[in-house]
Copies of this chain bind each other. A is one copy, B any other.
Amino acid sequence: MNQDYIQTDEWSILEEGFDVNHVKASESLFSIGNGAMGQRANFEETYTGPTFQGSYIAGVYYPDKTRVGWWKNGYPEYFAKVLNAPNWIGIDVTVNGESLDLYTCKNVQNFHRELNMKEGFYLRSFEATLQNGSSVRVESTRILSLDLDELGVISYKVTPLNGSATITLSPYLDAGITNEDTNWDDAFWDTLEVKEAQEQGFIRSRTMKTDFNICTFMQSKLFLNDKAIEASKASEVTDTKIGFKYAIKVSEGETLTLHKFAGYVTDMNHKKSELISAAKKTLEKGVALGYSEIKKLQKQSWEKIWEMADITIEGDSKAQQGIRFNIFQLNQTYLGKDARLNIGPKGFTGEKYGGSTYWDTEAYCIPFYMATKDQEVARNLLVYRYNHLEKAIENAAKLGFNKGAALYPMVTMNGEESHNEWEITFEEIHRNGAIAYAIYNYIRYTGDTAYMHEKGLEVVIAIARFWKQRVTFSENKGKYMILGVTGPNEYENNVNNNWYTNYLAKWCLQYAAEQVVATERDAASDFDRILKKVKLTSEEVSEWKKVAANLYFPYSEAHNVYLQQDGFLDKELVPVSELDPSQRPINQKWSWDRILRSPYIKQADVLQGFYFFEDDFSTKAIERHFNFYEPFTVHESSLSPCVHSIQAAKLGRMDQAYNFYLQTSRLDLDDYNKEVEEGCHITSMAGTWMSIVEGFGGMRIKNNMLSFEPKIPKQWKSYSFKVNFRGRIVTVSVSQDGPSFTVCPGGAFQILVNGKEMEISNNQTQTA
């Protein structure tokens, strides 16, 4: 563990005491979001110390210029990045003429941060003595409303502690912001209008190139000792900023409170010409409700989320806090209302990875959303890719594929590829398989076969077409091969016959062939429509089968395992346990060539295949491969420990499973990788959820039924989780004495427990 300043609490993230070295990490950890926007836990008042400012709007991105050493055909011309949006949280504060700035205060005491996950707010309080000797107590509460998802509210309280003081509060909007990670020092935003209208302020901005139009807005209310007051304001308006300054004389012990209602409206949801009027409507609603009512609604909305998504762990508060933090962040990031949105690896907590969509969504996030939300939410994640199918076909065409073959981008905002390293962009093609697998996984879980007929089959066909064209026939071996790929283990580039990729390709080809038959049989009119659209021939389907049947899989007789790729055994096979710890993490200590020629594995690769296709292999085979590959695995991707935890649990190695679980569940809270400053690892948080539900709980889908093989780490008294399976809410509780199950609503419900059928009744807890 690298960091331990976060206080343990089952429902909150807590920080006590002010440490400038924790500011950027806490800005990530205490981030808030509501699916439509997000905000790092930056201070409202001026802070001149090291900080990483971040306000983000879901779906608003910028195509930053990229330059590489030598340009390669097919590279996109930009790297899409999530944009730091205009600042809506700012409130400048002065006390007796001096700006309040925790970095320059003489003294800061009782500094406290709380991310209240149960009720969905972020609170910060402190007592500060300024250079001029004035002392104040400040308490700030911030909410991004789940109900009015264009609105944020802040309650900012100042109490003079040593004599009366003239306090000025200047809530402002600032569009003069930049990204931390810009490739060039360009501005990304044009400010179109800065407008004052009585107590309201508006800034209309547009992103350059992408022309997203937004309006940032604010309105404030003042209270003295909780009683509304009127105060005259001085306006400060520049080309990119608007602020209203209120100056109030406050007696010692009295509390001046400012409620700031603010946020964004965008042209994704409103007409460009109506942004200011939309902002006014939102402000009207927000102000009418008032801060307290919004806070109450927020609590109710989070109650609904937790009702379904909570996982309880008894006997381990840190684990409890960790899993709730993960569930909370996932829900802050994506709520599934809008098929245009997706889940960036850092969510709304930072800029890194451009805020774009990766294969993380399909491989790691969908199971969480399927089980803890209505079916529609996971379906929207599939529809996101369906809506990008045309662009995926264009992307494949850029790389020389044809006849409707699709290659989904490795990194995307709008369906276009937006990453340009050839070994990733052009070669990490297994993502295409994960997108088909997610359709299979979704239908397996939800039973929503209509999705295949309506939308899924087109995607599955286009992906099969890609694999068919991407293989090479080796006369030498009389087999189809897939040359020049990067697998999930990105510590190998441009390898031949990555087993995971080959297996996934084979599966995609077979699955597509099967689904063509099934759709023709079960949904004739859909089938006709699709056939007409994609011009599929039976020869094409035969070709898919032929390739699938003759794909090459590198194998070692000596070790009785599939090889991660051709030539894997030529490496110096020294296990990680014998590696000098000073050399870890290798991605920070070693040059790339050294990493590539080493046997070390970044994240599950062959084992990822065994995770996806567990039913294709015997437990003995899983164990053999786990024993062979895990010792070479450095787990330097946040996505690695969860898959290993699930497999260790399946193999009954609960200590190992628990250790992997710890690595994933408090990755950010304990900052294992010393990088939480840059943001939290949102997508791997879904992996943490899987570690409990699929790992310890052993949940699988077998023959349209939920199946469990519950186990429990010896460190815990009990744990419980719920899953929504086809409209039935199943609660699984596991204690050291064994599991019990409840279902609601509706009648009798069959599940499998350790391979045996069991019927659980409505609202009756049943032990196994």
Nearest-Cβ distance from residue A492 to partner chain B, whole angstroms: 8
Stretch binding the partner chain, chosen from A8-16, A39-47, A275-283, A588-596 = A588-596
Bound-complex Cα distance A427 to B596 (A): 10
- With A66-B69, A483-B597 as known contacts, state yes or no: A422 contacts B570, CB within 8 Å: no
A494 CB contacts on chain B under 8 angstroms = 423, 493-495, 596
Bound-complex Cα distance A592 to B69 (A): 14
Stretch binding the partner chain, chosen from A71-79, A147-155, A431-439, A712-720 = A71-79
The interface bits of chain A over 83-98 (1 if a CB of B lies within 8 angstroms of the residue's CB, else 0) are 0000000000000000
Interface pairs A-B: 4 shortest CB-CB: A74-B591, A426-B593, A483-B597, A484-B597
A68 CB contacts on chain B under 8 angstroms = 68-69, 421
Asked if B400 and A572 sit within 8 Å, CB to CB, the answer is no
Asked if B67 and A597 sit within 8 Å, CB to CB, the answer is no
Asked if B472 and A571 sit within 8 Å, CB to CB, the answer is yes
Closest to A566 in B: B567
Closest to A424 in B: B69
Bound-complex Cα distance A218 to B70 (A): 38
Asked if A592 and B73 sit within 8 Å, CB to CB, the answer is yes
- With A496-B567, A496-B570 as known contacts, state yes or no: A472 contacts B69, CB within 8 Å: no
- With A67-B67, A79-B69 as known contacts, state yes or no: A590 contacts B400, CB within 8 Å: yes
A496 CB contacts on chain B under 8 angstroms = 567, 570
The interface bits of chain A over 578-612 (1 if a CB of B lies within 8 angstroms of the residue's CB, else 0) are 00000000011111111011000000000000000
* Interface check A157, CB cutoff 8 A: no
Asked if B591 and A400 sit within 8 Å, CB to CB, the answer is yes
Nearest-Cβ distance from residue A518 to partner chain B, whole angstroms: 33
* Interface check A399, CB cutoff 8 A: yes
Asked if B73 and A591 sit within 8 Å, CB to CB, the answer is yes
**Residue from A67, A74, A183, A484 having most chain B Cβ neighbours under 10 A:** A484
Closest to A479 in B: B570
Asked if A399 and B594 sit within 8 Å, CB to CB, the answer is yes
- In the assembled complex, 28 residue pairs joining A and B whose CB atoms fall closer than 8 Å, in A order, are A66-B67, A67-B183, A68-B68, A69-B419, A69-B420, A69-B421, A72-B592, A73-B589, A73-B591, A74-B592, A423-B494, A426-B591, A472-B572, A474-B570, A474-B572, A475-B569, A475-B572, A475-B573, A477-B570, A481-B570, A483-B570, A483-B571, A493-B494, A496-B567, A496-B570, A566-B566, A566-B567, A567-B567
Given contacts A66-B69, A73-B587, A474-B572, 11 further A-B contacts (CB under 8 A): A66-B67, A69-B79, A70-B421, A398-B591, A423-B494, A426-B591, A474-B570, A484-B593, A494-B494, A494-B495, A567-B567
* Interface check A476, CB cutoff 8 A: yes
* Interface check A473, CB cutoff 8 A: yes
A617 CB contacts on chain B under 8 angstroms = none
A427 CB contacts on chain B under 8 angstroms = 593
Nearest-Cβ distance from residue A583 to partner chain B, whole angstroms: 9
- With A493-B494, A569-B474, A572-B473 as known contacts, state yes or no: A399 contacts B593, CB within 8 Å: yes
Q: Which of B399, B473, B567 contacts A591 (CB 8 A)?
A: B399
A183 CB contacts on chain B under 8 angstroms = 67
The interface bits of chain A over 414-451 (1 if a CB of B lies within 8 angstroms of the residue's CB, else 0) are 00000111111011000000000000000000000000
A184 CB contacts on chain B under 8 angstroms = 184
Closest to A400 in B: B594
Nearest-Cβ distance from residue A185 to partner chain B, whole angstroms: 8
Asked if B570 and A476 sit within 8 Å, CB to CB, the answer is yes
Nearest-Cβ distance from residue A692 to partner chain B, whole angstroms: 31
Asked if A422 and B592 sit within 8 Å, CB to CB, the answer is yes
Closest to A472 in B: B572
Bound-complex Cα distance A570 to B496 (A): 9
Bound-complex Cα distance A588 to B69 (A): 16
Bound-complex Cα distance A398 to B571 (A): 22
Closest to A493 in B: B494
Nearest-Cβ distance from residue A511 to partner chain B, whole angstroms: 24
**Residue from A473, A572, A596, A597 having most chain B Cβ neighbours under 10 A:** A597
A400 CB contacts on chain B under 8 angstroms = 590-591, 594
A588 CB contacts on chain B under 8 angstroms = 73
A72 CB contacts on chain B under 8 angstroms = 591-592
Bound-complex Cα distance A509 to B474 (A): 35
Bound-complex Cα distance A399 to B566 (A): 25
Bound-complex Cα distance A496 to B493 (A): 12
In the complex, chain A residues 490-528 whose Cβ is within 8 Å of any chain B Cβ: 493-496
**Residue from A68, A569, A587, A588 having most chain B Cβ neighbours under 10 A:** A68
